[in-house]
Amino acid sequence: MPNTSGPLVVALLYDGLCTFEFGIVAEVFGLARPEMGEGWYRFASCAVEDGPLRAHGGFLVTPEYGIDLLDQADIIVVPGWKGENKPVPVDLVDRLRQAHDRGARLASICSGAFVLAATGLLDGGTATTHWRYAKALRTRFPAVAVDDASLYRSHGRILTSAGSAAGIDLLIEIVRQDFGMEAANSVARRLVMPAHRTGGQAQFLERPVPARHQSEIAPLLDRMRADLGASWMLTRMASECHMSLRTFVRRFTEATGSPPGEWLIAERVEQAKRLLVERRHSIDEIAAAVGMGSADTLRHHFRRRAGVSPQSYRDQFSAPQPAKVLGQ
């Protein structure tokens, strides 16, 4: 373990280990961060069954610690699980319950929610998981309210996250709770990622935008992203794609998974997030730059999609800098 004195974070190892999910836990909590001081996390992993254990990617893991280590953990992370229908060992369920009873926090990434739900500790609460597993989680654990939209959710000291990458957002949120915003943003920068997203933000759409070689939809999306401040009326969009209005709306929705208006709002909100984090422009200037027209309109759509106000998002995820007039 690292030579630090902070909370002990223990990640579970199992046969069929989800390599990416485990890797991000080790990266956030196990990487040496001397700038954080001696109170930074200690990190270790433990096997919940006999090894060596297979991991995704075609390699074997030889655990250093066994399941007894859970009795010392302050935070236990379940980095995915073997599958939605795979049973959870009774000994693991008992130890997770005992850890929770003595005050430890429990967290899961993606399908790891099935392990935490098996303890019964999520009964009566709300959890999230990857949208592909949401139906199975509801069916297996009807006492758990499943949120298949959010990136991560908390139920007391139990935290669950959605698909694999959303686990990073959850882990950085844990850092923020323990060490503050500056530490969380420092970890995010080390990971070369934007300041982390709040849990209420939505998971990504199931369907990506495909290349449509026989239409003008994909090129239009590029033009719209490059000029979000412009007035993108439906008639203009359809005209640029050389389609009737009815045909355009149908094909746009097929390509993106959203009607044109909803897609445009989502893109404008994402651009507003980037400008808010830069902290160089006022909210009124950002609203104009992304085509929202007014700060009130931006606040309405931003809160609906991000779960927080633009100012709250800026306060949480950016360092203070002097304001600058847009375009200077």
- State percent of the chain over pLDDT 90: 61
What six digits make up the tokens of 182?
Answer: 């500056």
Question: For residues 76 and 211, which has the higher predicted lDDT (pLDDT)?
Answer: 76
Residue 123 pLDDT: 97
Closest CA to 119 of 156, 163, 72: 156
pLDDT over threshold 70, residue 207 = no
Residue 194 pLDDT: 60
The per-residue DSSP string of 270-312 comes to: HHHHHHHHHT-S-HHHHHHHTT--SHHHHHHHHHHHHSS-HHH
pLDDT over threshold 50, residue 117 = yes
Model confidence at 216, pLDDT cuts 50, 70, 90, reads low
Q: Work out the average pLDDT over 245-261.
A: 88
- Write out pLDDT tens, residues 144-174: 999 887 888 999 999 999 988 889 989 998 9
- Write out pLDDT tens, residues 304-325: 888 889 998 888 766 544 434 4
Q: Are 175 and 145 in contact (CB under 8 A)?
A: no
Instruction: Give the list of residues 6+ apart from residue 88 with CB closer than 8 angstroms, or none.
Output: 81, 114, 115, 118
Question: For residues 91 and 185, which has the higher predicted lDDT (pLDDT)?
Answer: 91
3-state helix, strand, coil in the chain (%, to 5): 45, 15, 40
Q: What is the mean pLDDT of the chain?
A: 87
Q: Work out the average pLDDT over 99-107.
A: 98
Among the residue ranges 96-110, 197-211, 313-327, the one predicted with the least confidence is 197-211
Residue 312 pLDDT: 86
- State percent of the chain over pLDDT 70: 88
Instruction: Give the Cα separation of 77 and 79 in Å (integer).
Output: 6
pLDDT over threshold 50, residue 203 = no
Number of H helices, E strands in the chain: 13, 10
Residue 318 pLDDT: 62
Residue 198 pLDDT: 52
Among the residue ranges 82-96, 188-202, 219-233, 240-254, the one predicted with the least confidence is 188-202
What six digits make up the tokens of 211?
Answer: 């290349």
Model confidence at 257, pLDDT cuts 50, 70, 90, reads confident
Whose tokens are 């066994």? That residue is 66
201-213: buried (b, 16+ CB within 10 Å) or exposed (e) per residue? bbbeeeeeeeebe
One-letter amino acid identity for 299? Answer: R
Residue 1 pLDDT: 61
- Looking at mean pLDDT, say which of 103-117, 243-257, 306-320 comes out highest: 103-117
